[in-house]
Chain A
Amino acid sequence: AQKITQTQPGMFVQEKEAVTLDCTYDTSDPSYGLFWYKQPSSGEMIFLIYQGSYDQQNATEGRYSLNFQKARKSANLVISASQLGDSAMYFCAMRASRGFGNEKLTFGTGTRLTIIP
C-alpha cells in the first residue's frame, strides 16, 4: 500500500520569499513516481512537477523544484520567489511505476499556501 503524508495543513509566506512544502511517502514498490499538484480555488488540478524514483537529479520546473531524498522517503516542493498567484492548495501524490500504466495516484491531505503581500 502507498501512503503520502503532508504535515502542514496551512502555511503563510511573505511574497518573494521561498517556501518549502513537506511531503513524505511510504511504498513497497521499487519503482514509483512522485507528483506535486496545485489546486486553486477554481478547483482544477494543475500539474507542477514530477520525480521518478530512479531519477538521479532533483526535478526542476521554472520556480518549482523537488527536493527528493530517497533514503528519507521525502519529496518536498520548493517554490522560489513566491508570488500572490501561488496561493492555493498543494497536493503531493505518488503512483507505482510498473511499466504498463493504469496505476492510480495516491494523494496526501494537502497544504494550503497563502502568500502575504
Chain B
Amino acid sequence: GAVVSQHPSWVICKSGTSVKIECRSLDFQATTMFWYRQFPKQSLMLMATSNEGSKATYEQGVEKDKFLINHASLTLSTLTVTSAHPEDSSFYICSAERDTYEQYFGPGTRLTVT
C-alpha cells in the first residue's frame, strides 16, 4: 500500500519561533501534496496545494508568508510555520496524491505553541 509519513508527530515550541514539518511519500512518487489543518473537533481545512518544483497554491485566507511550503522532490514536501503563535496550535495533516483520485494521508503533526 501507499505510505505517507510525517515528522515530527508532535512538537511544542515557544511563541515567535519557527517549526518545520516534513511530509514524505515512502513508496511512491507524488507530484502533488496537500496540507490540511484541523482544529479540535472540527473538520479538515485545506491550507495549500503543493506541486513538485513549483510554488504552492494557497487557499483563501491562508497567509503564504506565515505558512511556507516547499515541495523539493517527488517524495518530500515541507510546511514551515514561521513566527508561530498560540493560535497556530493545531493538528496539521498532509496528503500525497498517487493517482488521479487517490490521496494518501500522513499520520498528522500536533503543534502546540506556548
Which residues of chain A have a CB within 8 Å of any CB of chain B?
Answer: 33, 37, 42-45, 47, 50, 52, 91, 95, 97, 99-110
Q: How far is the CB of B1 from chain A (nearest CB, A)?
A: 10
B residues less than 8 Å from A42 (CB atoms): 107
Given known A-B contacts A45-B105, A97-B100, A97-B101, A105 and B43 have beta carbons under 8 A apart: no
Whether B26 is near chain A, meaning CB under 8 Å from some CB there, is: no
B residues less than 8 Å from A97 (CB atoms): 100-101
Say which residue of B42, B93, B107 sits within 8 Å of A109 (CB atoms): B42
Is the Cβ of A43 less than 8 Å from the Cβ of B100?
Answer: no
Is the Cβ of B101 less than 8 Å from the Cβ of A109?
Answer: no
Given known A-B contacts A91-B44, A101-B31, A104-B46, A43 and B108 have beta carbons under 8 A apart: yes
Residue of A42, A101, A106, A107 with most chain B CB atoms under a 10 A cut-off: A101
CA A78 – CA B46 in complex, angstroms? Answer: 26
Closest to A42 in B: B107
Q: Which 4 A-B pairs have the closest CB atoms?
A: A45-B105, A43-B108, A44-B107, A101-B100
CA A109 – CA B38 in complex, angstroms? Answer: 11
Is the Cβ of B105 less than 8 Å from the Cβ of A91?
Answer: no
Say which residue of A43, A52, A106 sits within 8 Å of B93 (CB atoms): A43
Consensus secondary structure, chain A interface: loop
Q: How far is the CB of A10 from chain B (nearest CB, A)?
A: 10
If A45-B108, A97-B101, A107-B44 are given as contacts, then 18 extra A-B residue pairs at C-beta distance below 8 Å, sorted by A number, are A37-B105, A42-B107, A44-B106, A44-B108, A47-B105, A50-B101, A52-B101, A91-B43, A95-B101, A101-B32, A101-B101, A102-B49, A104-B34, A104-B49, A105-B34, A105-B46, A108-B43, A109-B43
Q: How far is the CB of A6 from chain B (nearest CB, A)?
A: 9
B residues less than 8 Å from A101 (CB atoms): 31-32, 97, 99-101
CA A110 – CA B45 in complex, angstroms? Answer: 12
B residues less than 8 Å from A44 (CB atoms): 105-108
Say which residue of B34, B101, B108 sits within 8 Å of A33 (CB atoms): B101
Interface code B37-56, partner A: CB below 8 Å = 1, 0 otherwise? 01000111110010100000
Whether B67 is near chain A, meaning CB under 8 Å from some CB there, is: no
